[in-house]
Amino acid sequence: MMKAAPAPVMLLFALSLALNLWLAGVPGWTWLLAALSGWYLADMASGVVHLVMDYYPCRSDVGLGAVYSYEGSRESDEYLSLRAAAMARIGGFQKLAYDFKNHHPRPDALGRRSMLVQIGSTICFTTLPTSLAVNLIALAVPLPGWLLFGAVIFLIGATFAQYFHGTLHRMDNPWIVRAMRRVGLLMTPQAHAIHHATLTQDFATNTGWSNPVVNRLFRLAMRRRWLTEAGLEPR
């Protein structure tokens, strides 16, 4: 369901981020605080998206329940036919919601996807449009350099959120992921395992810094019935 972003889109995104950095000007000490804030907000965004997609109900009239609970081979013609028929009847948002739910009983499948596939949809539909909007605002109105730098760090963290999530479900990760875990800039598989054991807490998948806040937001959403347990699995 996820697809890699086309090369022109990736190039445009890189150029947009570069323009934001150029407009930011000369670095200052406030850039460090901006970077940490941007990284924190990217982690929070990963958690909010995760909790919404986990509990947002899938349509019940297109056969997603049968696809989700299929007990035979997922490479069989029967399964592939069921899946194709169900996917043809739903839009992109519903496909994404199903993907999050399908991840729970089959977590290692996410780790097998390539980085470009994991970040493709995020770039196309979220971080590229946001970065272009920041370009336009910064060209029209002078913005503080620290604010633009923080925005770039946020966009990078948000773009790679699903890739970072995938690294929590695989062993052979690049050295930079292992190094970032050692200094606390990325969370560990052990910390993320708490989410899979409960499905009711610790939704953030970048650093986990924002989980105390996101957990409170989740409890509020459940208490107000904005989200319900009925949405956790396709029916």
| For the chain, domain boundaries | 8-59+99-231
DSSP 8-state code for residue 231: G
Tens digit of each residue's pLDDT (9 = 90 or more) over 1-51: 556 678 899 999 999 999 999 999 999 999 999 999 999 999 999 999 999
What's the confidence (pLDDT) of residue 92? 84
Q: Residues with Cβ < 8 Å from 160, sequence gap 6 or more? A: 119, 206
Closest CA to 123 of 5, 30, 234: 5
Which has more pLDDT, 69 or 154?
Answer: 154
Question: What digits encode the pLDDT tens for the residues 73-127?
Answer: 988 999 999 999 999 999 888 988 999 999 999 888 888 888 888 999 899 999 9
Is residue 64 a contact partner of residue 45, using CB atoms and an 8 Å limit? no
The length of the chain is 235
What's the pTM? 0.92
Distance, in Å, from the CA atom of 229 to the CA atom of 232, rounded to the nearest integer, reads 5
pLDDT of residue 3: 64
